[in-house]
Structure 1
């Protein structure tokens, strides 16, 4: 990604040099001004937004039938067995009919999982102060080690793309290694999102180690010929890891979109443009990615083409006609018409006659 292409997108926008009342507001409510991609560009971004939304709908519809009845029964049976072994099982609560006129068979309520004291204790250790326990133990560092974590989106928060930073910052600030928001409140929000993403990424690396441990445990149970209940507990644990990992990926993707909004809200891009850029697929290891730059470049080309067409339509018809030649100049018939006419033959003579009179 080159900075030169970003400068072509909006050459007239410069980074704010003085702090304004708008800079003290939260970044999520910042309204962009000096709109360049407004007007005709709304149609372009609306079309791109509809295509992206349609693709997202198709993707989400494929997983709606996920999980068969047998898998649900396996998980429920394993959970009941785990709770019974820990002495946490409770009799299911049977719901009573809501009406005296309806006397059908009573259905038991869904299984509710009681909170684990050990889990809640670990969960709330850093709740009051997120900066507590930041000095990780050697075991924690070992579990959080992952090869090529940045490639899979489990490294540090990606840097802001230069072509986006050029909308908000001055050219000198864009060239810095780690760019930061110019507005104080936006910078605070941006830093909090970076901390949240880095924490989630560390959790993802630990989850990667957990998946290896769980898969190795499952294979060991199968090789040792353990009982069916142990196999069910192992399989249910693997499913829990899979579902938790999926939600973690959703969380990290949302954090990426939130940081995108932080920078897009400070830019002079139109509402349709910002919506289209936010709806682009999140690329692991990149904040915006090449697709966002291509979308902006395409919008600039479309805007320039439409502006040229509009300028041609505004030209007066008289400027599009042929100019009258100087007096005394003999005109060729081929310049006006392919066929000889009396008007064309007499026109040079009239011009020469008027010249002699003068």
Structure 2
């Protein structure tokens, strides 16, 4: 495989940190982007133990100009960017009526516009050579977008629509640039400890919880396998079916259980730090505090090829059934 230069945003902790390790073991040179220089240095030190060339850029992904300058700096240091993984995000949790407009704007800028800025910076350079891969992250479809997370749900839906809109543009221009979407369930990362929280209680993941290495594996499969979409686990398929055929029931369930399943009974202190505007100090790595409840096995990874096969199989079944009835 030719030498790959991978850029990862949000690389200091969580999914970004796990993805950096996975790509490093795969033989990539890795550029680490994030706001916390200490955590980026820790991540780079891990990679250097694997003899991986690294480059650190301390940057806020909501700043389009800074992200573009970071991309230029990376190409001057490591070489042509071939992979770009947008893992950075920020959120605010609580009922929309209780949120401040500036909080909503800031969370949307980091999660959605941060992905847009990273994608644009990557596209600008990949189009010089006509090839490359960009991976963006989406939330796995559930019964309905859960309450208290309207800001992140909206940002991730925007990321999904943005990514899908780019694909025909790339085909139109004839570039061999691949845009992949990885649809993730709850992942055990430190974000539950540093998300701005208006609920009054400590946050916890909802539904099946997986370790960040599972997300990193899915991201790498999307990147190297040139998959259009990857869905992690089967719960998203099940919940999509329930939401489609029983929408009223799903809304009622989320209005009750959907609240309780996202919060612990322990109240939070009013002065706990969050990362919405400034990075949270401390030594955070890939994992959060939910190792005891995470699923340790590798879940089923459904790709767009599986979805196409299932669709074709279903259509063939319908046609065969219709032909049989016609003969009868």
Alignment TM-score > 0.5, same fold: no
After TM superposition, the score normalised by the length of structure 2 is 0.21
More helix by share: 1
Greater C-alpha Rg: 1
More strand by share: 2
After TM superposition, the score normalised by the length of structure 1 is 0.20
